[in-house]
Amino acid sequence: MTDHLTKAESVTVTAIETSVPSLNEAREIIDRFHSMIHTRAVDDFNPWIEVASNSLVASFACGCLAPNVRACDFGFLY
What are the distances in angstroms from CA 43 to CA 40, 62, 77?
A: 9, 18, 11
pLDDT attached to residue 9: 95
- The answer to whether the pTM exceeds 0.85 is no
Helix (H, G, I), strand (E, B) or coil at 66: helix
The H or E element containing residue 69 is: helix 69-77
Q: What is the largest CA-CA distance in the chain?
A: 44
pLDDT attached to residue 21: 92
pLDDT in tens, the chain (78 residues): 557 899 999 999 999 989 999 999 999 999 999 999 889 888 898 899 899 999 999 988 887 666 666 666 656 666
Whether residue 23 contacts residue 56, with contact meaning beta carbons closer than 8 Å, is answered with yes
pLDDT attached to residue 46: 86
Residue 67: φ, ψ to 5°: -65, -15
